[in-house]
Structure 1
Amino acid sequence: MEAPHVTLTIWWLAAITGTLIFLLYFMPIMPNRQQQRNICLAPAAGAAALVLYAVFRHESIQTLLPMYTAIVVAFPLGLIGHRRDMKEKLRDREVNGPSRENEPSIGSTIQVLVALFACGSAALLYVNL
C-alpha cells in the first residue's frame, strides 16, 4: 500500500499543528507552573530524539516528520474522554503525592496505547526509511 504524496511544507505545518494540539490539550490540566513547563518540553524532547536518530542513522530529518506528528497527536487523541479525570488525578498527586488512587486508569492507558499504535502505523506509510 502506498500513501499519497505529501509535500514537505505540509508535513512541517502538520508537525507544528500537532505540537499546538498537544500543548493545548495538556497545558490546562497541569496543576502548577513547573509541570506546565515540563509538558512544554515533551514535544521538544521528542523532536530531539528524532533528530538524534536521523543523525546517527544518516537519515533526512524531514523523512521523520510524519512520525513526530503522529506521536504528538496520539497522546491527546488517546486521552479523549479522560481529560477531567486526568486533571483531578494530577491535582491529587500534587497535594497527596503518588498513590494508587491517582494513577492513570487502565482504560486511559489502553486508549493511549491504541492511539500510539494507530497513529504510528499510519505515519509509517509516509516514512521513507
Structure 2
Amino acid sequence: MQPPHISESIWWLVSVAVTVVYLITLVPLMPNRGYRIRVSLGPVAGALFAAASGLVKHMGPGELLPLYASVVLGVSLSLVGRRREMRTKVADMAVNGRNRGNELSRATQVQVMAVLLACMAVGLWFTEAAVGRVH
C-alpha cells in the first residue's frame, strides 16, 4: 500500500505545525529557563541532522520532511497522558541531577519508545514513497 502523495509545500506546513505542537507541549513542562532552552533546541537539532543527512544521502526536503515531521510529532505524542510524571521527574532532575529516583517509569519509557517507533515507521513510509517518486 502506498501513502497518498503529499506535496513538498504541504510537508513544509506540516513540519512547521508539528514543531509548534512540540514547543507548546514540551516547553511548559520544563522547570527552568535552561531546560526550556534545551527542549526548544530539539527541533533545531532535528532539522540540522535532517539537512546533514540529506546532503550525505543526496536527498531533498521533499524526502526528508516527512521523517522530520513524524519524529517531532512522535516526541509530543509519546508523552500523552504522562505530562504530570514528566513535569515531576524533570523538576526533580533540575534540583537533584539525574538519579534513579527521577527516571521515567517503565510504562512511560515503553510508551515513549512504542510511539516514537510507530511515528518513525510512518515517516519512513512517506519518505520511501517520496524517494520512489523522485528516482
After TM superposition, the score normalised by the length of structure 2 is: 0.91
Using the alignment, how far apart are the partners of 1:98 and 1:52 within structure 2? 31
Q: Is the 8 A contact 2:75 2:116 kept in 1?
A: yes
Query: Which position in structure 2 is the counterpart of 1:104?
Result: 104
Instruction: Judge which range, 80-89 or 118-127, deviates more.
Output: 118-127
User: Partner amino acid for 2:64?
Assistant: L
Using the alignment, how far apart are the partners of 1:125 and 1:51 within structure 2? 19
- Number of residue pairs the alignment of both structures matches: 129
Using the alignment, how far apart are the partners of 1:125 and 1:86 within structure 2? 30
- SS at structure 2 position matched to 1:56: helix
Q: Structure 1 residue 61: deviation in Å? A: 2.3
Deviation per CA, 1:90-121: give whole Å up to 9, x if none. 11111222221111111111111111111111
Using the alignment, how far apart are the partners of 2:51 and 2:96 within structure 1? 38
Query: Which position in structure 2 is the counterpart of 1:120?
Result: 120
Q: How does 1:71-90 map to 2 (within 5 A)?
A: 71-90=71-90
Query: Which position in structure 1 is the counterpart of 2:9?
Result: 9
Q: How does 1:9-88 map to 2 (within 5 A)?
A: 9-88=9-88
User: Partner amino acid for 1:104?
Assistant: L
User: Partner amino acid for 2:105?
Assistant: S
User: Partner amino acid for 1:116?
Assistant: L
Instruction: Judge which range, 97-106 or 66-75, deviates more.
Output: 97-106
CA RMSD of aligned residues (A): 1.0
Q: Structure 1 residue 122: deviation in Å? A: 1.2
Identity of aligned residues (%): 36
After TM superposition, the score normalised by the length of structure 1 is: 0.95
- SS at structure 1 position matched to 2:80: coil
Q: Is the 8 A contact 2:79 2:112 kept in 1?
A: yes
Gaps of 5+ in 1: none
